[in-house]
Amino acid sequence: MSLKRYNTPPARNLKRRHSYTIRGIKILRSATTLIIFGSLIVVVTFAYILLSRPAIYSKHKITSPLLKGPSNTSNANDIHADDQRSRTFQHKFKLKHIHRHGVTPLTSQTHQRLDVNDEFLFQANKLYQETTESKIQTNDASLLYEQEDMLWTTNENYSTNSPFSFEFNIKSKQITLQRLTDRTPKFIESYLDFAYKSPQLASTIELDWNNDDQVIAPDVTDKETIISLALMSSNAYVQIPQTGDWRNVSSPWNGSESQDFGWDGNGIRGHVFVNELDNIVVISVKGTSAQGLPGSGIDETTVNDKINDNLLFSCCCARVSYLWTTVCDCYVKSYTCDESCLEKELRRKDRYYNAVIDIYKDVLNQYPNAEIWVTGHSLGGALAALIGRTFGLPAVAFEAPGEYLAAKRLHLPFPPGLPAYLEGVWHFGHTADPIFMGTCNGASSSCSLVGYAMETSCHTGRVCVYDVVNDKGWRVNMLNHRIHKVIDEILTDYDQPAKCLAP
């Protein structure tokens, strides 16, 4: 009988295999522990990032305490489509300061500020009551139009006997703007001065841009906000007393300066509204005062308003025909204009654009950390848009003539590769206003008949147009340009603000 023989492994081999098995189990356990521990670290880290992201974002990207996180992606053509899910904030503003700035060769360096106090409010409200009574007693239609724009809106929801004590309600939203990294007046003015002297070389300069600045801006989809900004624009028209504690922002006046400078002379005005709690300031720039061109006032600043209107919004020094006297010497011949001459005319120290820059600089000096917005009606709206573009500020304009040509002639900074309508400038207007629509031109137009060459039609930023011609059956008429016509019969009448689209 044969027996099979099995080789039994030596004892030392069994021990070695047992040792390998134990070591493998230990390694497996260690690896499993590391995987579990690593997973926990990843989960905890991810949760921490999610929970702390708003604070991190606010720390590194946001300056205003109202900004709470990144803005939503916006539709390039429709402001109503962007930020629909964004958080809005409610603010209350009151008039705090009034500026006046000279714009004649003798007074271009004069700049004064009045800080609103109880004595001023008493005198201003008294004058307002007298103006209201004189309007009621007047039967002259033309005088009624002129006086009406020095008064307040007739809408009962906003009625007041004290326009300078009125509290304005405005909502804001966070938006993303592409604007210059260095927006200090010192840098901006040095760049503009260089462009003024060497426009060809200025176009070759590569400016440093911040592509995703988070900015608090007016909520232009909110009806109350748009009405309040329009009322602020109209507030700059209301007549105020010539008395008060005016402080010299510029060097003190001397005896050689014109005595007619002030509220009945040739100058530009700005009203400053402040929300101290949220650190937001709104500058309202006064628009055109003129007999014949409805805007406001009884010919307080007519002469220089007309000169600046014709410089900013005509093709070449308001040369409509051979019968016209041009406002500058840059016209050469038919269809020929000295462009460099015209650019220098716009940048003269006694022009409105430089005066508004001085007003902005003083406001910035008073409120260095504030969010600053600008608004205005007509010429004031165009100047607000130009200043907004210059310093990267949100700007809301009402019935402003097209300022795109002026922005180019002033060599204002335009973000490279970004359409103009994606910037923080909004133009509100309606289809029955020939000045806003750019149709008040030609030798036989109503604008020309009163001495205005309003030949531009293109706006920067976005345009928000109420189609009152189709909706209300209005006819195109220069009288529809008036700010109170816009407030009382359009802004307060429509359920929602007009949609803001690319021009």
Q: Is 216 helix (H, G, I), strand (E, B) or coil?
A: strand
In whole angstroms, what is the distance from residue 459 CA to residue 386 CA?
10
- Chain centroid to Cα 228, Å, comes to 14
Structure tokens, 385: 């848009």
Q: What are phi and psi of 103, to 5 degrees?
A: -140, 30
Structure tokens, 396: 């809301």
Q: What are phi and psi of 499, to 5 degrees?
A: -70, 140
Helices first, then strands: H and E counts in the chain? 15, 14
Block residue for tokens 């007041």: 160
Partner residues linked to 169 by β-bridges: 92
- Which has the closest alpha carbon to 319: 401, 403, 328? 328
Q: Is 107 helix (H, G, I), strand (E, B) or coil?
A: coil
Amino acid at 302: T
The per-residue DSSP string of 192-242 comes to HHHHHH-HHHHTT----EEEEEEEEEE-TT-HHHHHHHHHHHHHTTS---S
Residues listed for the chain: 503
Q: Is 395 helix (H, G, I), strand (E, B) or coil?
A: strand
Q: Is 308 helix (H, G, I), strand (E, B) or coil?
A: helix
Going through 167-305 in order, the beta strands assigned E by DSSP cover: 168-180, 209-218, 246-248, 267-275, 280-285
The DSSP element (H or E) to which 465 belongs, if any, is strand 462-466
The residues, ordered by sequence, that sit 6+ positions from 485 with a Cβ below 8 Å of its Cβ are 294, 479
Q: What are phi and psi of 371, to 5 degrees?
A: -80, 125
The DSSP element (H or E) to which 420 belongs, if any, is none
Which of the following is catalytic: 108, 228, 234, 378?
378
- Is-contact 61 69, C-beta < 8 A? no
- Which has the closest alpha carbon to 497: 175, 157, 216, 226? 226
DSSP 164: G
In whole angstroms, what is the distance from residue 67 CA to residue 237 CA?
33
In whole angstroms, what is the distance from residue 52 CA to residue 46 CA?
10
Structure tokens, 390: 């210059």
Please give the C-alpha separations between residue 5 and each of 8, 12, 13, 483, in angstroms, as whole numbers: 9, 20, 19, 115
Q: Is 378 a catalytic residue?
A: yes
DSSP 106: T
- Which has the closest alpha carbon to 453: 301, 249, 316? 316
Active-site residue set? 378
